[in-house]
Structures are given as C-alpha cells and as structure tokens.
Amino acid sequence: MRAVLTLLILATSLSACGHNVEQRAATGAAAGLIVAGPVGAAIGAGAGVVVSKTQDKR
C-alpha cells in the first residue's frame, strides 16, 4: 500500500512536467516504471493524461 501511495504522488507530480499530453504521459510513465515496474508505468501514463486534460481545460 505504501508503494502505491508513493507511486501515485510521484506520478502525479512528475506527470505535470511537459507541454503536451505525450510529454506528460511519458514523464508519468517513466516515473511509474522506476517505482513499480510495468504496472507503475501504466498508472503513471494514465496520470499524465489526466493531468494534461485537466491543465488543457484551464
């Protein structure tokens, strides 16, 4: 549970890095991959897409 929480915090914070959805998803996936492997990469990429869609609406 602790690793999942750490992953979500890291992926969410790093997924905001970038200027478009692809860059944000890639940054989130890289962070997730480092923390939790392939599953973390998928979660990080998803977080990057969500953050991108949220920031693009502003």
Domain boundaries defined on the chain: 2-56
CA distance 9 to 52: 16
DSSP state of 58: -
pLDDT tens-place string over residues 13-55 = 665 667 888 888 888 888 888 878 888 888 888 888 888 888 7
pLDDT at 16: 61
Residue 12 has phi, psi (to 5 degrees) of -65, -40
pTM value is 0.68
